[in-house]
Amino acid sequence: MSELRPSTCRICSAYCPVLVTLDHGKVMRVEGNRNAPLYDGYTCPKGRALPAFHNNPDRLLHSMKRQPDGSYQPIPTDLAIAEIAERLKDIVARHGPRSVAGFLGNPGVEQVATAPVMMSLLRAIGSPMFFSMATLDQPNTKIAEALHGAWDGGRMRPETLDVMLIAGGNPVISKQYFGQNPGMRLKELVRRGTKLIVIDPRRSETARRAAVHLQPIPGEDAVIAAGLVHLVIAMGGVDTQFAEHNTTGLATLTRAAAPFTPEYVAARAGVPEADLRAAAAIIANAKRGNFGTGTGVSMTGRGTLTTYLYNCLQTLRGFWAQEDDEMLCSPVLLPPANPRAQPRSPFPAIGFGEKMRVRGLEQSVAGMPAAALVDEILTPGEGQIRALFMHAGAMRTMPGEARTHQAFRSLDLLVTHDVEMSPTAQTADYVLASKIAFEIPVLSFLVELNSLFHQGYGFSDPFGSAQPALVEPPAGADVIDAWRVYYRIARRLGLQLECGSMFASELSPIDMINEPSTEDIHAFIAAGSAIPLEHLAQYPDGHVFDEARVQIAPRDPACTDRLDLANADMIAEMADLAVENASEHRGTNAEFPLLLVPKRMQNATNGSFRAEAERLKVQTNPAFLHPSDLAAFRLVPGALTQLRSRYGSIEVVVEADCDLRPGVVAIAHGFGRHPGEATDTRRHGSNVNRLTALDDDFDRYSGIPRMGAIPVSLTRV
C-alpha cells in the first residue's frame, strides 16, 4: 500500500521539508514539500537520493566487533554495549575521567538527541573532553564575536538589505545564509535591489548573481577585509553617530587599516583595484547591510581576523537591527527572547575552560579544539585520552590522515556509530549499527540552536517542526538510535544522567529505570521554548508561528556596553599582516606553484555514506583547474594525476572549470578509502587530508589548521 507522508531531510542543517512516498513501509521517493512554508517545495539532489540511502543493500544492519586478527564479526548491539561499559569502567579506574572523550560530527545533525546524551554521559563520568567538528569548520564566527562584542538586537533581516557581502561561501550549494531554498532567496534578494558582493576564487553559483565579484588569490581574505575597512573609512562611510554611542577603538582601527590601501590590496590579493573600490562604494552608500564568511575564509588561514574585520565593518556602517525592527530568527524551540537595540561588550574567547596539553590550545567559545584531539590521544602522560566515542566520519575529514589513523588505532577503546564499514569504522573496536533518516523522529531545534553560533544558520522566520519516525528499520536489523548507547552505558555503570535545555540553570534527571523515548529527549532539550513543543505536533508540514515574532526593544538607558573596534590581538595581527612577505607566507614556489582550496558539490555527499544513487551524479571528488592550468601541465580533463603538498600526495582525476581563478586547484574534502585499502580513484575519490597537517599555520584560538590555500604541485601519472 502506497502512502505519502511529510518529514524532513537531515543530510545537512538546512532541514528541508520533504514528502516521502512509502510502499509497505519502504521508502520509495522523496520530493520537496510544497505544503511547508518558507521552502517553496525545495530540496536538493542529496535529499531526493534518500531512498537509495534507506534501501542500500550493503547497509550495516548489525553491530560489529574488531577481532584480534583485525577482522570484524557481528555482535548483538546490547552485548556490545555491555562489553563497552565494562571496558570503560576499567579505563576510568586506571586513567581517570579525562581519559574518556566524545567526538560529534555531521551525523549529529540527523540525530539531534545524540549530543545532549553523549555530553551527559561525559559529565557523569567527570570528563570535560567533548569535541565536535564545529571547531574544524567555522569556529572563527563565534570567536570573532567574542573579540568584537555582539549586538543584542542581532542582524538585519535579509529582505531589508541594500548590500549583502559573502566571503568564501557559496550559499546556493552550502545552504548557509539562505537555508530555505537558497537559489530562490538569492534571486528574490537581487530582484528587490540588494547589491550582492561575493569574494571567492571561483565564479560560483552565488558569484554569478553578484554586482561585484572579487576573485582573489586564496588566503588573502584578511587583506581584502582590511582594505574594505580602509576604503569605507576614507570615503567617509562611517556612521559617526552610531560609532560614538556604541563603539570604542575607531582611531586605533583607522591607523591599523592605513597600510591596506587599494593599490596594496589589489596587488597582493590579485583583484582589480576598480572592483575593490566599487565594492567599498556600495557598502559606504548602503543604508542596510550584512556581511558573512564561509568555510573558504575559515580554512585558508586568518579566519578569526577576517571575520573580526567584517564585524568591524558592519559596526562602522551601523548595520545592526534597530528599535522596532523584527528580530531575525525569532525563537520557536529556543527560550523566549527580548532583544534590545544595544551592544554587548566583548566576552572571553578563551581562558575559561579546559587546557589542552598540545600547542597551547584550550577550550574556546567555539568549543573544545578538535584539532588537538589526535595529539591528546598520542601524547603520553596524565590526561592522555584512552577511550573515544566517535559519531563522525573523522578518518575522511580530520586533517593529517596518517596521524589520525595512528591515533585512533592506539586507543584502548574506540566506539563509533555507522551505517557502513567506513574508513572510520575500520579503525574502531566496536561499530554500532545506527538508524538513519526516516527511522528517527525529527525536531527543528538544531537549526535554531546553530543560529546562536553562526549567523548563516537558523530560520529567518519563526518556523518549527516536529515529526515522528516514518519507517521501521529493515526486518531482522539490530540498529539503534545513537543516544541510547550512552544512556545504556550509563545505566550499566550505575550513573545518573541529566539533560535539559542548555539555557536552563539546572538540568533534569533522566529516568534511568524506564528508558525514555527519543521524543522524551527532545522534550528535555526544548524545555522552556517560546512555543510549547506539543504545539508543533499540530502542524505535520511545519509551521511559521507568527505569534512568536519578536520586535527589537529600545536601548536600555543604563547600557554602557561598547563594541570593540580595536581588540589588541587583532590589531597586532593586522600589523604583522601589513609587513609580512606575502609570497613567503603563501608558500607557493617553483616546486609548489598552485594553491588548493576546498569546494562543495551539489551532486555528492562528502564525509558521509555515499549510496549509488541516480540523483547523485558525482560519486568522487575531481580536482578542478582552470583550462589554462591544465594546458600548462599538459593535462586533459579526466586524466589521472598526482597532487602533492609538503605533507603528502594523492592521486586525483583532473577536470576543467572555466570559472576558477588560474593558479588554483579546487577539490572537495571528505572522500577516499581507509589507509592501505585498495582504491580506485575514479570510483572512490581521494582523501585531501593526506595533504594537510594539524599544526600547519593553526589559529591560536580554535586550533583549526590550514585546510585551504595549500601550496601543491601536479605530476602526470
Q: Tens digits of per-residue pLDDT, 468-516?
A: 999 999 999 999 999 999 999 999 999 999 999 888 889 999 999 999 9
Q: Which residues in the chain land under pLDDT 50?
A: none
pLDDT score for 605: 57
- Cβ-contact 694, 132 below 8 angstroms: no
pLDDT score for 46: 87
Place of cell 547591510: 289
Q: What are phi and psi of 584, to 5 degrees?
A: -65, -45
Q: Which of 603, 607, 600 is nearest to 616 (CA)?
A: 603
This prediction's pTM? 0.96
Helix boundaries (H) for 317-463: 373-378, 394-397, 401-410, 445-450
Q: Which of 521, 573, 380, 541 is nearest to 35 (CA)?
A: 541
Strand 466-467 with 508-509, pairing: unpaired
Q: What are phi and psi of 572, to 5 degrees?
A: -65, -40
* DSSP assigned state of 216: P
* DSSP assigned state of 607: S
pLDDT score for 601: 75
Edge-first strand listing for the sheet containing 26-32: 2-8, 17-23, 26-32
pLDDT score for 608: 59
**Residue 587 DSSP SS3:** coil
Domains of the chain and CATH, by start: 2-54 (3.30.200.210), 64-128+367-452+466-541 (3.40.50.740), 140-345+563-570 (3.40.228.10), 588-716 (2.40.40.20)
**Residue 622 DSSP SS3:** coil
pLDDT score for 62: 97
Say how far apart CA 332 and CA 414 lie, in whole Å: 37
pLDDT score for 670: 87
Cα separations in angstroms, 104 against 26, 71, 142, 338, 630 = 29, 25, 18, 31, 39
Say how far apart CA 291 and CA 289 lie, in whole Å: 7
- Cβ-contact 228, 279 below 8 angstroms: yes
Say how far apart CA 126 and CA 129 lie, in whole Å: 9
Contacts of 584 (CB under 8 A, 6+ apart): none
> How many residues are recorded in the chain?
717
pLDDT score for 676: 85
At 76, the amino acid letter reads P
Say how far apart CA 361 and CA 716 lie, in whole Å: 40
Q: Tens digits of per-residue pLDDT, 228-275?
A: 999 999 999 999 999 999 999 999 999 999 999 999 999 999 999 999
pLDDT score for 1: 75
